[in-house]
Structure 1
Amino acid sequence: MNRVRESAPQLAGIIPYDPKYLSAQMYMSANENPRDVDPDIRSQIDEAVRKVSLNRYPDPLANDLRDEIAQANGLDREWVLVGNGGDELLFDTALAWGGAGRTFLNLPPTFSVYEANARLTNTPIMNIERFSEDFSIDEDRVLAALADPTNNIAFTIIASPNNPTGLRAPQVFLEKLLNSTDALVMVDEAYFEFSRETMRPYLERHENLVILRTFSKAFSLAGVRIGYILAHPAVIREYMKVRQPYSVDAVSQAIARVVFRNRNAFEPAIHDIISERERIISELKVIPGVQFFPSDSNWVLFRISHAEQAWQYLYDNGILVRDFSSTKLLENTLRVTVGTPEQNSAFLRTLRDFALRKD
């Protein structure tokens, strides 16, 4: 044979996720923490990694890490599941709660991987767009959609704060949502350390609540790939049926345990990022032709005329930001990750220069 059979039909038209990773002097596109793990914690990591037996399979459930996360959240191990980044757990959500005839309720613009996972699992998608000026959720439409049994909504994922638009979902709405349906409601809290708000207090009261978190952002471990969920033990057991065996390698488990034990050491940098976010917003206000959107996270989304040219001008000056200008509802927008004070100043200076040239 000189040809191969066609791939699964649900792959037709799917474009692989592209994080737009390009070489640059200043990386301000992927919502990473601009600071690497500090030398003291890295030394502890080196020591922990040296003790890992590379010839042995890892603990398949990362139970030591589960125990530490559970204890920090006032829970038992059975309420926690660790994954290969939040991305694995997002896909597992679609595997466990999706499928033909089981609708996924999506609230775009939001993280595009949610919809892609639904399509890969043959899950019908119901989109309720965020048409408001600040991209807030159309709460009445969402609740009405869930109340209609003909929609057969099996699960929804709500990022809080929402990526890429920036605002967290109101807790009053989320609780109303949880009370109104037996659909699985995942609240993606990948950036909750920057919003300072979590749905953890609601967890025991709502069996249908799943909270997703990650080590990639506030804890400077985007390169390690560790995420976890908090959920009712019965829900965790369903996730275990679809997760890949040994998905979290032993080295990543060792690194994550060290970082989690030292999580308080990251607080000063988190506060600095929040402060710098407010400085960026303040200075964007006075740049001609720029409209910024409020943010509860470690980035700022903004609209600017000639957004593609602005992106290129920033990149030509060594600054990589994320271009959403061709995304529905996000036309002419760019997203800048909060960097170090020096990086933020360079970004603002370069963007101001572009805007004045176009003014």
Structure 2
Amino acid sequence: MKGKAAKQATLLDVAQKAGVSRATASLVVRKSPLVSETTRAIVEEAMEELGYVYNLSAARLRAARSRTVGAIVPNLTNPFFSIMLSGMESVLEAAGLVVILANSSEDTHKQAAFIRRMREHAVDGLIICPAKGTTTEQIRNIQDWNLPVVQALRVVADTRTDYSGIDYRGGMAAATHRLIALGHRQIGFVSIEGHHSAEAARLEGFRSALAENGLAPAFIVECETNSQAARALAPALLRLPNPASAIACFNDVIGLGLHRGLVDLGVRIGKEVSLFGFDDVPEADLVSPGLSSVSTDPHGVGERAARLLLRRIAEPDTPAEAVIAPTSIVERPSIGPAASLTTSGRRD
């Protein structure tokens, strides 16, 4: 044992002797409550046997902040995320931090690689909009590394982190109620391929508003999250045996693509078919007729996510907080009173 001590036993030596990972041994020396008492006792016994001494000076040096923050989003082609990122940067830059940005493209493997790289670069914290399919374990791993993390827009089930989100359910329910108030009884929903918390909440809002009025969806179809796929979907929607006089869309990317697809077919949007988007990106006001949408203030979502992260970095033991922003309806000419439908699905 003296020989080991003379060689200045490392934390890795301790971990190997105790039969645990280096990360677990590190949690023990830092008195983390995440370690069970049994594991703590085994590691502490290994430390004593090896004569391991915690180097406080080195620990302080390692604790020096990098003044960088990681941000991972799933789709930078969606203008919503660009606006949200500008909100993050406005807060973080004011605090003297630089943002390292990554686009996961809804790929959990790419996302995991980005997280590892950001950890290697010793970012002070991470803001992540989880890609579709992100598991509970993946988020908990980030927390086990003691890396401050905030989930934005989407939250993975059974995780407990700070969260900056939107009242998706209430927003979609309000849009659906507005269509019902205009006399629409055949209302369809175009969702996305793949599922996450934001998709589930929107769909729940849509279904609940219909159910409150004794209605059922005319259809619920899924679409790739890009405007080209939504544009190509338009003919199929008009050929459905149960055509809709109004269509609610998961977001404005799908709404704007479908808008173009219907215009290509000569459909008078707002008169023959009403169309509702979600997010109220600037482009929604540039098409003709303008696309009605649910405003979600992505810049504010980014600002709040950044503030939550700054608080988490400064106060790591503070209880997790969820900030859910309300939505509002922005009504434009893409919606109007219900039009009559023929049995063929074409408008009179």
- Please indicate the TM-score interval, normalised by the length of the shorter structure: 0.3 to 0.5
TM-score w.r.t. length of structure 2: 0.33
Question: Which is greater in Rg?
Answer: 2
TM-score by length of 1: 0.32
- Whose RCO is larger (CA < 8 A, sep 6+)? 1
